[in-house]
Amino acid sequence: MLDTEKCSDFECSLRLGARVKVIIAIDESATVDRIVEFIHSNHWLREADIKLIYAVVPIALDAPMSPYPAICTGAIQKIYEYAQTVVRQASDRLKAEIGKPLEWAIPLGDAAHSIIDEAKSWSADLIVMGTHSPHGLQKLLCGSVSQAVAAGAPCSVLVLKVESEASQTAQ
């Protein structure tokens, strides 16, 4: 008999064999590489319903470029097109790994809030995301998306350590 008071909703769903809904938040190919590696070694994820999320952070209109909204709009469009490319490539790789198509979304807004909102609206059981472990001034000024998601998510959050593409290139 399953003691549901001693497991999270996610753990109980897994134990009961229920279909699990997993959001995978991505930002760059190094994150996708790490997540594919994780899915490969955790076969239970192959049975889950998976939705990829790539949040596009808009350029603030009160920024110094605000007198030039066409430039801001053009920049956001380019970022969105890049996000579509990353998500399509990630979707293809993950589909090959798990053998089924995935849902995906590219919300416009703060990354942490977008991921949390998507988890709420989709009734996700788990969020899987990478962290690049920002340090020093970067962490102080920008914070950590994974920390914000873990603090505000309506479900369990699994954070995978990812080596950023910049540090891989430097080696």
CATH of residue 32's domain is: 3.40.50.620
Task: Determine phi and psi for 61, rounding to 5 degrees.
Answer: -75, -10
**Looking at per-residue confidence, does 49 or 69 come out higher?**
49
Distance, in Å, from the CA atom of 31 to the CA atom of 37, rounded to the nearest integer, reads 10
R_g of the chain computed on alpha carbons? 17
106 within domain boundaries? yes
Q: Number of structural domains, the chain?
A: 1
Do the domain assignments include residue 92?
yes
**Residue 9 belongs to a domain:** no
Between these two residues, 37 and 63, which has the higher pLDDT value? 37
Integer distance in angstroms from the first to the last C-alpha of the chain? 52
Instruction: Return the pLDDT at 58.
Output: 73
Does 169 score more than 50 pLDDT? Answer: no
Residue 148 tokens, joined: 């914000």
User: Domain for residue 4, yes or no?
Assistant: no
Return all residues near 53 (Cβ < 8 A) that are at least 6 apart: 23, 24, 25, 26, 104, 105, 106, 107, 114, 115, 118
pTM: 0.78
pLDDT of 23 > 50? The answer is yes
For residue 54, what are the domain limits? 28-170
In a domain, 43, yes or no: yes
Evaluate if residue 170 carries a pLDDT over 50.
no
Does a structural domain hold residue 86? yes
Note the pLDDT tens digit of each residue in 135-168. Answer: 555 555 456 888 899 999 999 999 888 876 554 4
The pairing of strands 126-131 and 156-161 is parallel
